[in-house]
Structures are given as structure tokens and as C-alpha cells.
Chains A and B, each alone.
Chain A
Amino acid sequence: MAGAMMHWFRRRGVGLCVLMLAALFCLGPVLWQAVTSIKLDQDLVRLPPIVPERVTAVHYERVLFHSSLVQSLGNSAVVAASATAVAIVVGGLCAFALARLPIAGKPVILGLVLATSMFPPIAVISPLYLLMRGLGLRDTLVAVGLTHAVYALPLAIWILTSFFRQLPGELYYAARVDGCTPLQALRMVFLPLARPGLAVAALLVFIFSWNEFMFALTLTASDSTRTAPVAVALFPGLYEIPWGDIAAASLLVTVPVAGLAAAFQRHIVAGLTAGSVKG
């Protein structure tokens, strides 16, 4: 009996322990935020108790009804959704061309695409700000969305290129001989088959845009255009830092992305191409 348990522990237990430690490490701060968000103001700076004796919803009430957070969440949604749409459409076309069309110098192009994503945001932020101001887009959602789309594009291109390359080349040829233009082949054959790849790319772009802080901070100047991370960062007042409000707002900002990731996870399943070619 004991031997069997030792055996089980050796096989599964060690891995389990490592996983639990990793989860605790990653989720610990979130957990702490959750606890903070329901503490009374006077308990916030005291320890113990770790687990509060009295809980309150006053922080949630404040951020939801007496701040601009809801508006910022709306802005974030618009920015992230449009950035995702642009990145996926442009990235999809680009990736399809790189994966299937006869173009010279593909590795060079892919390398250059990757290189653009290596500039640290801080290096491009001043010219970007001047550019947006010159275009008259300063303090608009368009500026933020566009910037996010451009910055996420290399990621989208790389993910989608590798997904398109995994699809059998003969499917493309078959579609072409069956009467498709290259664009029809993309729309009718490749896109449906690359759905898992599209989901992954879209999810990553969306999360990137939702969480992005520096561009959003620089390019916006008013409540009507601020995205959620910027809004949360601007909570601290002149004389006090409202820790409880920040914690509540952070959780509210995190929930949509976490939910999205969970929902998409079911779509990110391979095996859609089974049966197409001899397996």
C-alpha cells in the first residue's frame, strides 16, 4: 500500500507539486488583489488579519458608479476589438501570401517583419506621438487602435504563416484548379481550416491591446479616450492612493480577458484537418 503510494507520488506527485507552486506563484498576486478589493479602508494597511473579518463592496461601487472606469472599459473593448480585426485581416492576407504565393525572398520578409517588433515601444513613442498629432488623431481611439494593430501585426503574421504552412499545399492547388482565385482559395478553404490559428492569433492580439499601457497613456488625454489600464493607473490622487479601488478596478479589467481566454481555449483544438490527405 505504502509502496503503491510512493510509486504514485514518484510518477505524478512531483509534477503536481511543481504545478501547484507555479500556479500559486502566478495567481498569488491576483488572489491578494481580490482580498484587497473587499477589505474595509481601515483594514487595508493593517496586517494581520490576512483574511478580513468584515467585507465590503464599497470599492466596487465606487469604481463602477463614481469613476470613469466603465467608460474606459468600453474604450478598451473598442480599441482591442478593432486592433484585433485590423491585425487579423491584414496579417491573414500577409501570412497567406508568405505561406502560399510564389514570392521571392520570403525568409527576408519574415525576418524584417520580426525585426519591426523588436523596437522597444519607448524608442518609437516620441515620433509616433508627433505623427499622430500631425494626422490630427491625438486623443482619439483610432490612434490607439491603429498603433496596437501595427504593433501586434508581426505576431499575427508569424502565427498565421505557420498555421497556413501546416495546411497541405495540395489543398491550395486543388482549390485553384477547381476555379478559385487566390483570394477565394484563402476565403473558402484556408480560413475555415486555419480557424484554430486565427483564434490563437486573435486572442493574443486582443490581450496585448487590452493590457497595453504606454502607447495608450501617451496618445490619450481625456476620459473619453482612455483605456482601462490607463484609467486604473490614474486613480491615485494627490494625497492618497486608493488601494481598494485600484484592486477592484484591476480585477474588473482582468475578468473579460480571462473569460475570453477560457472561451477560446475550446476552439484552439487541432485535428480539423483530419481526413484531408492520407493520414
Chain B
Amino acid sequence: MAEVRLEHLSKRFGETTVLPDVSLTIRDGEFFTIVGPSGCGKSTLLQLLAGLDRPTSGRILFDGVDVTALEPRERDVALVFQSYALYPHMTVRENLAFPLRVTKRKAGFDRPYIDGEVLRVAGLLGLEPLLDRWPRELSGGQRQRVALGRALIRQPRLFLLDEPLSNLDAQLRAVMRAELRRLHDRLGTTMIYVTHDQTEAMTLADRLAVLDRGVVQQIGPPQALYDQPSNLFVAQFLGHPAINTFEGEVRAGRLHMGTMELPLSAMKGGNRLRDGMRVTVGIRPEHVRVMPGHRSDAVPQEAVAQISGVVRLLECTGSQTWGIAEVDRSSDAIMVIGAVPAGESLRPGHPVTVYFTRGPHHLFYIDTGMRLEGA
């Protein structure tokens, strides 16, 4: 168990800077997720934490103790890889026992203790029937479990997980996700989980950090980041379907975006906008309704603006259908994604009316992408 603090950590490979300057604190016992698109530096960050690589500058502290110069084996961390990295020449039993076997002399583990620990971890993860199999004889999910077990057996003070679920199929991923979370709650060990999958990050984390090009964009609980994205990148990265964004200009108390317009009162912080200001507005798909035709009887009560268009694509997720409508045919087509209410039957090409409801729409500066202060 450990509190992890990164102080002005940077990493350069030759001329390329992967991490310019990262500072963050991960609390003791926290399930912390680092999420970002590929190449954002999240795996590098994990390697620095594990001690597999040295930072160019900055410090890493575990419980206030500087570990920057320590070897991986001196840090007492465990790392689970996306590729599992099981030792192919060892059985499941030997794979699980390996971390104890290696540190045996130092820690004074004897044979019966190791055997006992292997059984304990195997029991925890349901691996007992597989103990004498070889890694090549296991399914993806089983390999993943062995990799987890190998990390668990040493009872490290910090778990690092590098996209551990991304090689599994969707169904298994959901199961393992729940299992991981349960494991964490049971062990209470600090876990740092790196992923590019925002759903995974949102569902698992106590807190998460969104990373882009080596820079931490925002840190906080998942819901806070979703409700109050501090910049356009975070707003676009979190949430599925992705947020609608439009650039617009304020004229006479309304925000004009091509032929669309919204009253400023519908937007959080809209009262701070002045005529002539140009902003980007972000509207979550759940605050947009895509309805067939021009029926006046079915206008949603909370609608604050509407525009007609043509539905181009329907994305059915079972419980909810999302409609992607093309609304502005005057110049460049603007695509809006929104919820199709249950019971409405739509086909691509149908004329629709798109309603924007009053929701906490997000406003960002058009040049910096930063959230409008006070909004």
C-alpha cells in the first residue's frame, strides 16, 4: 500500500519529448486510471513507475520516500502486461511461484510457504484446475488471470496494470473488469491502471487522469470529468457517443452556429458571453433528440432549440438508439448525434427534427480549447 507522488517528471528519448512535465499524486489505496489515446505517454509513465526506465528529470516518491533511483525489484511493485508476458517454459504453478522463488533468498521464503501462497492466489482467481498446464494451453482470459496472480502473489504495495484487458473479447472484458474492481476493494492496494479505453477508465476508477501528448489534461473522479471537462480534449475523449462540438459566434443574445442557434440561457456560463465572442460549444448526445418529421405534437418539453435535417446513420445499442443527422445543407454539412426516443422508427434518409434540450452544455475558448472560466 502506498501513496504515489510524481514531481515534475519528464522523459525524453533523444529529441522527442514523451513526457514534458508530469506532477500528480495518487492516494493510498486508490484505483487510479490513466487514460489517453495511443502515444500519449501512458505506457512510458508506467515504465518509469515500475523502475524499468529512468526519468530524464523529476522524482517519484512512494509514501514520501524517493524511489527514482531504485531498481524494479527494490520498489516492491507488480506490473501486469497487455501481452500477459507469462514465462512460456514454466507451468502456471511455476509462473505464479516465480516472484517468490526469485526473492526467496532475500526474504527467507521456504518451499512450503511458496506452495501455500500459490494455492492461496490460485484460489482467489479460480486457477486451481490449471496449475499444471502450460501457458500455451490456456485461453486469453485464463492467461490474464495467471498474469494477475503472478502480480498478486508477492502482495506488493503498488499494482501497475498496462491495458491488461485489451486482448480479451468484449464479454470477458466486462467480467474481468468487475473482477478487478472486486479484487481491488478486497486487497485495498493502490492500483494504477493504464488504458486507452475511456469506458474502462470511467467504470473502474476512483479517480482518473486524462493524458494527451504527455500532458495531464485533467484529474478527478470520472463523473466530475464528464460533467466539468476542463478543456475540449477531455470533453471529446470521455463519453460514448462522443460529444457534439460546434464553433459559433454570439449575436444578440444567441449563439449562432451556421444555421443553428441556441439561446445563451441554455448554456452553463452563457451569461458571460458577449456579442461578437466566438466559442466552441460542446453538447452531449443525451441532450439532443433526433425525432422523425416535423411533428409539432412531440416537441420535447425541455427543448430550447430545434433544427430540421436528414438522418444519415443510426447506431443501435439495444437500450438506446443514436441518430446521426445532417442538419446544415447550406455549406459544409454539420453532423449532430443525438438520442432517438424509444418507439420511434427511423431509417437513414428520413427527414428529422433535431431538438437541443437544456443541459449543462459546455463552452470552450475557440483558440485554446480551455473551458470558459466560471462556466
Contacts and interface: CB of A to CB of B under 8 A. Distances in A.
Contact of A276 (B78, B88, B102, B103): B88
Interface stretch (A120-128, A141-149, A169-177, A200-208): A169-177
Nearest to B100: A179
B85 A168 contact: yes
A189 B83 CA distance: 16
Nearest to B98: A178
B359 to A, nearest CB: 41
A2 interface: no
A188 interface: yes
Interface string B36-75: 0000000000010011100000000000000000011100
Given A179-B154, A275-B137, A170 B99 contact: no
Scoring A168, A192, A278 by chain B CB atoms within 10 A of each residue's CB, the highest score goes to A278
A277 interface: yes
Nearest to B54: A102
B285 to A, nearest CB: 34
B84 interface: yes
Contacts of A179: 72-73, 99, 102-103, 154
Contacts of A173: 47, 50, 52, 79, 81, 85
Contacts of B299: none
A80 to B, nearest CB: 28
A178 B88 contact: no
B29 interface: no
A168 B89 contact: no
Contacts of B78: 177-178
Interface residues on A, range: 20 to 34
Interface string A237-279: 0000000000000000000000000000000000011111110
A275 B85 contact: no
Contacts of B83: 168, 170, 277-278
A164 B73 CA distance: 22
A192 B88 CA distance: 10
Contacts of B140: 278
A180 B105 CA distance: 12
A180 B99 CA distance: 8
A174 B81 contact: yes
Interface residues of B, number: 32
A170 B85 contact: yes
A162 interface: no
Contacts of A188: 98, 102
A233 B165 CA distance: 66
B86 interface: yes
Contacts of B50: 173, 177
Contacts of B79: 173-174, 177
Contact of A181 (B73, B87, B89): B73
Contacts of B71: 176, 181
B52 A177 contact: yes
Nearest to A176: B72
A179 B73 CA distance: 4
Scoring A175, A179, A189, A273 by chain B CB atoms within 10 A of each residue's CB, the highest score goes to A179
Nearest to B106: A179
A193 interface: yes
Contacts of B81: 170, 173-174
A184 interface: yes
Contacts of A177: 50-52, 72-73, 77-79
A171 B81 CA distance: 9
Interface string B124-157: 0000000000111110100100000010001000
Given A178-B98, A275-B134, A275-B135, 5 more contacts: A170-B81, A174-B79, A177-B50, A177-B77, A276-B86
Interface of A: 168, 170-171, 173-181, 184, 188-189, 192-193, 272-278
25 contacts: A170-B83, A173-B50, A173-B85, A174-B87, A174-B150, A175-B102, A176-B51, A176-B52, A176-B72, A177-B78, A178-B73, A178-B99, A178-B154, A180-B73, A180-B102, A181-B71, A193-B88, A193-B89, A272-B89, A274-B88, A275-B86, A275-B134, A275-B143, A276-B88, A278-B140
